[in-house]
Amino acid sequence: KRTRAAACTARTSPSRTTSAQGYEAAVSEHVRVRSSFSGSCWEVPFTTVNRQSSAAFQGQHGCPTILPEKLKHHGVMPRDVVCFYQEIYRNESLKIPDEHYTYGPREPLLFDRPLTKEFLFVECATRQSPKQRFHNQFLLNPFIKESVEERCRKAPGSTPHNLSVLFLHLDSVSYLNFERHLPDTAQFLRDKLGAFQLQGYNKVGDNSYPNQIPFLTGFKHSEATKAAPDGFFDNVTANIMWSQYGERGYRTLFMEEAPAYGLFTYFAHGFRHSPADYYLRHFVMATEGSPNWTEDSLRVPCLGPTMPCEELLDYLARFTVVMAERPFFAFSSFIDITHNNLNSAGYADEPFRRLLETLHVSGVLNHTVLVFLSDHGFRYGDLRATYIGRFEDRQPFAFLAFPPWFLKQNPEAARSLHINQNRLTTPFDVHATLVELLDYPDREQPNTKYGLSLLHEVPDTRNCVDASIPRQWCSCNIRGDIAVPRAIALSLANHLVRALNDMLRRATRKCAKFHLLQVLDVTALQETESDRAANVSHYWLSVALSPGRALFEVIMSVHGDTNATTLSREMSRLDRYGPVTKCVRDTWVEKYCHCRTLITELLASYV
């Protein structure tokens, strides 16, 4: 029988008990909160025919529209402008469509006339100097697709409430880093939208893939990978949440930044056939291949004088307006701003607050459920190496917002959502909530294989085992009171090094052999009743290894009867390993490797 002491709630995690700003001594030296991030891309040099000031054209209701005030920078009158466009499209006849984008032929662009092309590259000149192009830009043009509308009309039936779903994902932002760097967005969510904040939200895997697959499909990441043995996820498409809504007559959208880190393409090939009605991968790839694409000092990308996320958020806002009363499920993943630097998250505050305000004022959120969350916290760097950083990694931010009328009509659901803000929750629960919402309130479905719908109260006795959170990622691991002897610490560390080298030797000859450099931290975890019954002790171990001072963190278990030592199935790597793993890039070995060639090159430099 489980007792309350064995449960894990939002209150048991160290990172939840710090101040809202998270400024204890261990954190403050690593955090740099800036008062303003606006205009940073103006400071970045970028290459165009003539330094573009900003977007001069916009797609409105399927009609490209000229913005006269934006042309003033060029000293050009609208009547003198002549433009051509090239469509950017996805070619499904290619062997791996998601690795390519294709430009169509140049066509005249006619303003304020319907254009049934989604993604364009536009170049402009004046009538007086038609060969001297003074402006170019990428243009997103959301419009109603008749083929999609025909599918929706033939759908067997919609949901009882016809609520749209807008799912926003912001990569690598912990609960506390969201509070530090996105205060305006946080305030708008709470004060204007009455959003529910899941303060006990816990990741279930190491990086993006094992944490996003659960809320999109309800699968564990290993199950999704098994369903795509050839590297294509078309067999999984029907299980993705937006597809299930699509079967009910919803329009579907899948948009993500950073194609190099794509959810379905990082270790695989993506999809042969477009997984959603509105799919932007090929467009985003085209923008990254443009000379207008640069980075600022924090490695935040710029597309001309604006951040790519601003262009995509603007498209998303216009998409919701174009859809009007047509129900949709839109999943948008934003990676570029927050993936590479802990302190660049503040760049996201103004764009996301502006999006939420636009959706609120336009009335879109009166018929839309908003899910806004991250997959995990920042996973490497100086802050991650601290004790509080260990928990920030495991506790991403998560918000859910429902229209007021829905909460009023369903008071028990509103009550449960309020209570569940302080219960242990996971990506599986977000998925279960969206599954139940398909038929709610006509048919209740309070749980799925791994998740509990948040429209029902989550038990306050829930622990990580109940929630399908592997021990390695559980925020409820509590430090024991007994210091770990040095001999045990060294024994654990050496066992880890042997296991790591054995694994690498079986996988590849490209990686160097690791040696123990330093035991950084070893912590005995508080024993549970089941641990005592099985005579097992668990330790949280952090080590530095050579070459390269690679930093690894893992939970190790020692079985008292046999003295056998085992590692958790996954481990964390805390240093920025990308530059030293290029020899095994895009493979599972990447996370554990230090390329032999780097050592050879280093030795050669001394000769």
Question: How does DSSP assign 493-521, residue by residue?
Answer: HHHHHHHHHHHHHHH-SSBPPPEEEEEEE
User: Is 230 inside a domain boundary?
Assistant: yes
The range of the structural domain enclosing residue 580 comes to 486-605
Residue 245: the pLDDT is 98
Residue 285: the pLDDT is 98
Residue 479: the pLDDT is 75
Range in 35-39, 179-183, 407-411 the model is least confident about: 35-39
Same domain, yes or no: 467 and 527: no
Residue 1: the pLDDT is 34
Q: Report whether pLDDT(3) > 80.
A: no
Residue 563: the pLDDT is 80
User: Is 194 inside a domain boundary?
Assistant: yes
Residue 56: the pLDDT is 55
Q: Report whether pLDDT(380) > 70.
A: yes
CATH number where 32 lies? 3.40.720.10
Q: Report whether pLDDT(399) > 90.
A: yes
Q: Give me the sign of the Cα torsion angle 544, 549, 554, 560.
A: negative
Same domain, yes or no: 463 and 500: no
Same domain, yes or no: 446 and 580: no
Same domain, yes or no: 397 and 510: no
Same domain, yes or no: 312 and 226: yes
CA distances from 411 to 159, 189, 408, 443, 455 (A): 19, 20, 6, 16, 10
Cα(254)–Cα(479) distance, rounded to whole angstroms?
A: 41
Residue 92: the pLDDT is 96
Residue 55: the pLDDT is 53
**pLDDT level of residue 16 (50, 70, 90 thresholds):** low
User: Is 591 inside a domain boundary?
Assistant: yes
Same domain, yes or no: 352 and 495: no
What angle (nearest 5°) sits at the alpha carbon of residue 30, between those of residues 554 and 303?
100
Residue 415: the pLDDT is 98
Residue 8: the pLDDT is 67
Give the domain-ending residue among 473, 504, 532: 473
Residue 480: the pLDDT is 72
User: Is 440 inside a domain boundary?
Assistant: yes
Quick: pLDDT tens for 275-298: 999 999 999 999 999 988 988 777
CB contact set of 559 (below 8 Å; sequence gap of 6+): 534, 535, 536, 565, 566
Name the nearest CA neighbour of 57 among 42, 67, 72: 67
How many helices (H) does the chain have, and how many strands (E)?
18, 20
**pLDDT level of residue 560 (50, 70, 90 thresholds):** confident
Residue 267: the pLDDT is 86
User: Is 315 inside a domain boundary?
Assistant: yes
**pLDDT level of residue 389 (50, 70, 90 thresholds):** very high
Give the domain-ending residue among 473, 508, 540: 473
Name the nearest CA neighbour of 374 among 244, 604, 211, 487: 211
User: Is 460 inside a domain boundary?
Assistant: yes
**pLDDT level of residue 57 (50, 70, 90 thresholds):** low
Work out how many domains the chain is built from and give that number. Answer: 2
Cα(594)–Cα(581) distance, rounded to whole angstroms?
A: 6
Q: Report whether pLDDT(516) > 60.
A: yes
Q: Are 539 and 521 in contact (CB under 8 A)?
A: no
Name the nearest CA neighbour of 205 among 71, 363, 376: 376
Encode 58-122 in three state secondary structure: EEECCEEEECHHHHHHHCCCHHHEEEEEEEEECCCCCCCHHHCCEEEEEEECCCCCCCCCCEEEE
User: Is 509 inside a domain boundary?
Assistant: yes
Query: DSSP of 204-228, one letter per residue?
Result: SSSSHHHHHHHHHHS--HHHHHHT-
Same domain, yes or no: 402 and 506: no
Same domain, yes or no: 467 and 584: no
Range in 62-76, 202-216, 394-408 the model is least confident about: 62-76
Quick: pLDDT tens for 408-460: 999 999 999 999 999 999 999 999 999 999 999 998 889 999 999 999 999 99
Quick: pLDDT tens for 83-113: 999 999 999 999 999 999 999 999 999 888 8
Same domain, yes or no: 573 and 514: yes
Name the nearest CA neighbour of 571 among 586, 551, 554, 585: 554
Give the domain-ending residue among 441, 473, 505: 473
Q: Are 28 and 19 in contact (CB under 8 A)?
A: no
Same domain, yes or no: 468 and 509: no
Cα(73)–Cα(52) distance, rounded to whole angstroms?
A: 8
Average pLDDT over residues 342-348: 93
Residue 44: the pLDDT is 40
Same domain, yes or no: 189 and 245: yes
Q: Report whether pLDDT(12) > 60.
A: no
CATH number where 506 lies? 3.10.450
Judged by phi (left if over 0) then psi (alpha if -120 to 50, else beta), residue 548 lies in left
User: Is 519 inside a domain boundary?
Assistant: yes
Residue 259: the pLDDT is 95
**pLDDT level of residue 18 (50, 70, 90 thresholds):** very low
State the DSSP H helix or E strand holding residue 370, giving kind and residue range, or none if neither: strand 368-373
Residue 48: the pLDDT is 29
Average pLDDT over residues 224-235: 96
Same domain, yes or no: 186 and 308: yes
Residue 45: the pLDDT is 35
